[in-house]
């Protein structure tokens, strides 16, 4: 089976736990087989002697067997199911680690909803198969074999042969149903992923949906996806429900054959009433193996479908290989004829970029939308892979450095700042987990958010809500800047991170940043007033450097930078006059 082949490593690791649980299961099976035999002997002895006292010891044995079976069942359930829960934890840890190592290319192809579905429903199905699947398979097969031995060897093999006549029909039906469930359950998992994806998108974009009046449209789309998912689930349950009638029909037919043939044998003196009673009880014991085989087929096919989806994801190689073994000893960044294009895009996003970013200097990057500014920053952090030898730090290709060491060099603040659903203080402290309260306050002051925070009723203990929904855009950006500042990373990168703040607050933040020493700063901004203090300004246009120099030197040229600066000054002057 595909599932057990993929989980072979887990069974080898916990072989002793599974072995002990299976030994207990085997002991329970042996005791269960002894119970019908003792009942049959007690009935025959009672009929022969008509003395109840002669059978009292059988009652004591039955009571003792019941107590032993109870404790053994409790023990193997703890062992077996507890171990399968460990599998679920291990798979989720591996899944999460895989996600953290993947680059932007991976997330461009896989939606959040689908990944969440695989981390929940799929792993739950595998965990169930590793626990209840093992139980159903071993216990069902053990009980079946022991019942066959008791029926064939200790009672009457001819009666046993007759009683088994309906069972081939049941086996063929199980095989067809299990194949059907495999395909149906995979379809169910796929549709659940789509439902998860639609739910996640609707929750994240709820404000946009309301502002555009799309509630009814989105509700109809969601209802349709939910209906498809429910219908797919219904088909699985419909197929699963067919197991019970098949089992009951076959066992009912076997019982009818047993009573007819057994009654005739008693009439002929070839069988005793006690033996027929024992045989009938053993036949009733086959109810569990039949249900177990049906349940086994069901959950194994679910587990196989889930394992296929999970393995498909886990087998995808890392889009960014972490093969480095060194840490940089300085932070001089060089871009040597850098060229880059996104996957499946023939047009170069960056073309012939040659640039030196020296330590403790300020580099400003300007340019129209889509010119490659954000792409350049992401290449520095290896979110995307640059061509070999075109991006150097401390004179070495960035692939020589460990990813964790490389990314610890950068404190990155994107334009769309992400905040976690926790307090303001904890959001800032994520930049340095061991930071003191005073360090948090200082970072907030530099980011010009301290006074805003004190204005909240709970101050730094204010809950920001999911993705910072309770804060304004400018407050979210300044909190993200504070989080980056507290990390004390050697390189601070602001990717248009001041776009949502007013000009006065922007100048205040820039003044604070100019006072920081021993830090390289890279600022990307459409608002050119944020770039005035930079040691060097480059202008990107269609992925190429079209202008470079200081702020003042670029203003004296008749290029894009000077024209944009003039336009923004006029826009600011008009806004000020209207405000007056």
Residue 539: pLDDT band (50, 70, 90) is: very high
Rounded to the nearest integer, the mean pLDDT of the chain is 81
Q: DSSP alpha helices (H): ranges in 205-267?
A: 206-211, 215-241, 243-267
Q: Which residue has the higher pLDDT, 552 or 120?
A: 552
In a domain, 473, yes or no: no
Domain that holds residue 266: 2-314
In a domain, 169, yes or no: yes
Smallest Cα–Cα separation from 515: which of 362, 293, 364? 362
In a domain, 386, yes or no: no
In a domain, 229, yes or no: yes
Residues above pLDDT 90, as percent of the chain: 3
Neighbours of 155 (CB within 10 A): 21
Q: Does this model's pTM top 0.85? A: no
Residue 16: pLDDT band (50, 70, 90) is: confident
Q: How far apart are CA 529 and CA 533, in angstroms?
A: 9
Which tokens is 493 given?
């990168």
In a domain, 247, yes or no: yes
Residue 365: pLDDT band (50, 70, 90) is: very high
* pLDDT tens track for 495-515: 888 877 877 888 888 888 877
pLDDT of residue 321: 79
| Total structural domains within the chain | 1
pLDDT of residue 235: 84
For 364, phi then psi, to 5°, come to -110, 140
Residue 579 pLDDT > 60: no
* pLDDT tens track for 31-90: 777 777 777 777 767 666 666 666 677 777 778 888 888 888 788 777 777 788 888 888
Q: Residue 490 carries which DSSP code?
A: S
pLDDT of residue 1: 58
CATH code, 174: 1.20.1560.10
Residue 540: pLDDT band (50, 70, 90) is: very high
Q: Which residue has the higher pLDDT, 335 or 266?
A: 335
For 103, phi then psi, to 5°, come to -95, -170
In a domain, 241, yes or no: yes
Contact 267, 216 (CB under 8 A): no
- How does 361-378 read in b/e, with b if 16+ C-beta sit within 10 Å? ebbbbbbeeebbbbbbbb
Contact 328, 405 (CB under 8 A): yes
CB proximity list for 159: less than 8 A, separation 6 or greater? 151, 258, 261, 262, 265, 271, 279
Q: Which of 270-274, 298-302, 541-545 has the highest mean pLDDT?
A: 541-545
pLDDT of residue 78: 79
In what side-by-side order are the strands of the sheet with 491-495?
Answer: 410-413, 491-495, 520-524, 362-366, 536-541, 544-549
For 169, phi then psi, to 5°, come to -60, -40
Q: Which of 42-56, 159-173, 216-230, 281-295 has the highest mean pLDDT?
A: 216-230
H or E stretch covering 522: strand 520-524
Q: Residue 190 carries which DSSP code?
A: H
Q: Which of 101-105, 414-418, 449-453, 464-468 has the highest mean pLDDT?
A: 449-453
Q: How far apart are CA 291 and CA 296, in angstroms?
A: 8
* pLDDT tens track for 191-238: 887 887 787 777 767 767 777 777 788 788 888 888 888 888 888 888
Smallest Cα–Cα separation from 151: which of 252, 68, 36? 36
Which tokens is 8 given?
């072979």
In a domain, 522, yes or no: no
Q: Identify the weakest region by mean pLDDT among 472-476, 532-536, 576-580.
A: 576-580
CB proximity list for 17: less than 8 A, separation 6 or greater? 79, 80, 83
What's the whole-number mean pLDDT along residues 460-475?
Answer: 78
Smallest Cα–Cα separation from 433: which of 486, 494, 381? 486
pLDDT of residue 52: 62
Smallest Cα–Cα separation from 524: which of 363, 327, 361? 363
pLDDT of residue 190: 81
Residue 300: pLDDT band (50, 70, 90) is: confident
Contact 392, 333 (CB under 8 A): yes
pLDDT of residue 49: 65
């Amino acid at each position: 089976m595909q599932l057990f082949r993929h989980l072979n490593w887990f069974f080898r690791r916990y072989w002793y736990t599974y072995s002990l649980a299976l030994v207990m299961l085997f002991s329970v099976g042996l005791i269960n087989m002894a119970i019908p035999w003792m009942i049959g002997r007690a009935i025959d002895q009672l009929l022969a002697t008509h003395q109840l006292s002669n059978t009292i010891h059988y009652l004591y044995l039955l009571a003792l067997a019941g107590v032993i079976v109870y404790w053994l069942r409790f023990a193997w359930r703890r062992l077996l199911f507890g171990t399968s829960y460990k599998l679920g934890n291990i798979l989720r840890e591996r899944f999460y680690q895989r996600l953290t190592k993947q680059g932007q290319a991976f997330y461009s192809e896989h939606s959040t909803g689908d990944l969440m579905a695989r981390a929940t429903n799929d792993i739950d199905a595998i965990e169930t198969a590793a626990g209840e699947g093992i139980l159903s398979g071993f216990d069902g097969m053990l009980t079946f074999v022991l019942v066959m031995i008791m029926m064939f060897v200790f009672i009457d093999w001819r009666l046993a042969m007759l009683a088994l006549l309906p069972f081939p029909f049941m086996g063929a039906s199980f095989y067809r149903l299990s194949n059907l469930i495999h395909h149906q359950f995979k379809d169910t998992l796929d549709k659940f992923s789509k439902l998860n994806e639609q739910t996640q998108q609707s929750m994240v974009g709820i404000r946009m949906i309301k502002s555009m009046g799309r509630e009814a449209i989105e509700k109809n789309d969601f209802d349709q996806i939910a209906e498809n998912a429910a219908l797919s689930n219904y088909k699985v349950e419909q197929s699963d429900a067919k197991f019970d009638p098949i089992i009951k029909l076959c066992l009912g037919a076997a019982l009818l054959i047993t009573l007819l043939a057994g009654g005739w044998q008693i009439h002929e003196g070839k069988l005793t009433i006690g033996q027929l009673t024992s045989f009938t009880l053993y036949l009733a014991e086959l109810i569990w193996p039949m249900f177990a085989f049906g349940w086994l087929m069901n959950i194994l096919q679910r587990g196989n479908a889930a394992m296929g989806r999970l393995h498909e994801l886990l087998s995808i190689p890392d889009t960014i290989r972490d093969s480095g073994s060194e840490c940089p000893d300085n932070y001089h960044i060089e871009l040597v004829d850098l060229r880059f294009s996104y996957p499946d895009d023939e047009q170069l996003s960056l073309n012939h970029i040659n640039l030196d970013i020296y330590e403790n200097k300020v580099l400003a990057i300007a340019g129209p939308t889509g010119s490659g500014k954000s792409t350049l920053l992401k290449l520095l952090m290896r979110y995307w892979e640059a061509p070999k030898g075109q991006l150097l730090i401390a004179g070495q290709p960035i692939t020589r450095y460990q990813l964790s060491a490389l990314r610890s060099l950068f404190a990155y603040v994107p334009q769309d700042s992400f905040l976690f659903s926790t307090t303001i203080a904890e959001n800032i402290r994520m930049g340095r987990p061991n930071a003191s309260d005073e360090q948090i306050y200082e970072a907030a002051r530099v980011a010009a958010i301290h006074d805003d925070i004190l204005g909240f009723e709970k101050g730094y203990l204010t809950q920001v809500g999911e993705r910072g929904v309770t804060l304004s855009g400018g407050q979210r950006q300044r909190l993200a800047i504070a989080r980056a500042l507290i990390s004390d990373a050697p390189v601070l990168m602001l990717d248009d991170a001041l776009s949502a703040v007013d000009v006065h607050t922007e100048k205040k933040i820039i003044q604070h940043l100019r006072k920081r020493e021993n830090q390289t700063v890279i600022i990307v901004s459409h608002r050119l007033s944020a770039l005035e203090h930079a040691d060097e300004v480059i202008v990107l246009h269609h992925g190429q450097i079209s202008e470079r120099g200081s702020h003042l030197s670029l203003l004296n040229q008749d290029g894009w930078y000077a024209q944009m600066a003039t336009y923004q000054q006029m826009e600011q002057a008009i806004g000020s006059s209207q405000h007056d």
